Amino acid sequence: MSNTALQPGVVVIGRNEGERLRRCLASIVAPTGSPPRTIVYVDSGSIDTSIDLARSRGVEVVDLDMSRPFSAARGRNAGLARLLELAPDTTYVQFVDGDCEVHPSWLATATAALASEPQLAAVCGRLRERHPTRSLYNKLCDLEWDAPTGLVRSCGGNAMYRLAPLLAVGRFNDAVIAGEEPELCYRLRQAGHTIRRLSDDMALHDADMHTFRQWWRRAARGGYAMAHGAALHGHAPERFNIRRIRSVLFWAAAIPLATMLWPILCFALIRPFTPNLVWVFAAFAGAVIPAQYLTLLARVAALHARQGRDTFTAFTVALFTILAKFAELTGLLRFWLTRPTKSSAAAPNFDKRPAAV
């Protein structure tokens, strides 16, 4: 077995990551005395020194052609293609976002997990936010990634894959511009493979999220991903993403519409017969219907409290869970109104950071 097969290959994608990319690359270089590790960095139109930085570290660089619509899926596929050219006998590949610093023990841990479980197609671990106390939104990211371990339905952008099943199902879908990892994991599961989340630390992520607008755009991207995934696989027996979409439509569309329409219906249908009671019926909309949100808030907060979070944190996460449904609704609508295809001229911009940092 060659040295390249002993080490997982690594594909990093990024754009204008600056110091984050330097930390990322430093964290994935093979330790002294270990077999060499093939690393490919895919740059998507950086205007900073990211490409020069990667080349100065001896990393192979793929400068993505930005005349075509960019997606993380397309970037990872381009990096994987170059990785296989450089090291065709690679067995495992770790995908890393350029704003992440991989934990020193993660690559060995993930490789061992894949080697010990033949049906396992991908593994991920605990992703932590580098600065969770610098903003509420950073903290929300950190809490989101503190998810249950074991067999899971999907992993995120930072994960290690077994190459054979990844190639067999057709790699990432270039046309999926958001939520490409759950879509890929769906295809892997349908092919009979499994995905596991380990309790081990995997990487530090630098969300650098400080405004409500940044958080909203991230949540809207999630709604867009839901819609696209459902368009691709919602008709299958699993009904991929359908339940999540129904939840968004109920909480962010149906209840607000019912709240607004109920008084109008009361005055139109009830007032002619019982004018003295019309205000009682109309007040129902201003009290009972919106009270459903309080019920949901309490339920979600109780769930997080059972997971060991303090009361304030539990209710904060619950509140933003509800708010996220409204942002996700905008993402759903954006997809349904644009219906992107592989030949789309442009992709919606959900970036949380400006073009240059």
What is d(CA 310, CA 243) in angstroms, rounded to the nearest whole number? Answer: 29
pLDDT score recorded for residue 343: 38
Place of tokens 């991989």: 102
Q: How confident is the model at residue 36 (pLDDT cuts 50, 70, 90)?
A: confident
Q: Give how far Cα 110 sits from Cα of 6, 40, 92, Å.
A: 13, 19, 9
Task: Share the mean pLDDT of the chain.
Answer: 87
Assess contact for 30 and 1: CB atoms under 8 A.
Answer: no
Task: Judge whether residue 75 has pLDDT over 60.
Answer: yes
* Mean of pLDDT values over 133-156: 94
Q: What is the pTM (predicted TM-score) of this model?
A: 0.86
Q: How confident is the model at residue 71 (pLDDT cuts 50, 70, 90)?
A: confident
pLDDT score recorded for residue 78: 95
What is d(CA 48, CA 52) in angstroms, rounded to the nearest whole number? Answer: 9
Alpha helices, DSSP H, located in 191-267: 212-233, 242-249, 255-265
In order of their start, the domains of the chain are 3-210 (3.90.550.10), 211-357 (no CATH)
Kindly state the percentage of the chain with pLDDT values over 90.
69
Q: How confident is the model at residue 31 (pLDDT cuts 50, 70, 90)?
A: confident
Residues 161-178 pLDDT 10s? 999 999 999 999 998 988
Q: Give how far Cα 276 sits from Cα of 267, 281, 343, Å.
A: 11, 10, 60
pLDDT score recorded for residue 2: 52
Assess contact for 25 and 45: CB atoms under 8 A.
Answer: no
Which of 36-40, 121-125, 256-260, 319-323 shows the lowest mean pLDDT across its residues? 256-260
Which of 9, 29, 26, 8 is CA-nearest to residue 17? 26
Assess contact for 173 and 180: CB atoms under 8 A.
Answer: yes
pLDDT score recorded for residue 346: 43
Task: Judge whether residue 60 has pLDDT over 90.
Answer: yes
What is d(CA 1, CA 290) in angstroms, rounded to the nearest whole number? Answer: 64
Which of 11-25, 50-64, 110-124, 271-285 shows the lowest mean pLDDT across its residues? 271-285
Residues 101-129 pLDDT 10s? 999 999 999 999 999 999 999 999 999 99
pLDDT score recorded for residue 151: 97
pLDDT score recorded for residue 347: 47
Q: Which residues contact 270 (CB under 8 A, 6 or more apart)?
A: 277, 278, 281
pLDDT score recorded for residue 177: 86
Chain-centre distance for alpha carbon 118: 26
Strands 120-129 and 100-102: unpaired
Residues 232-285 pLDDT 10s? 999 999 999 999 999 999 999 998 888 777 767 666 665 555 666 656 666 666
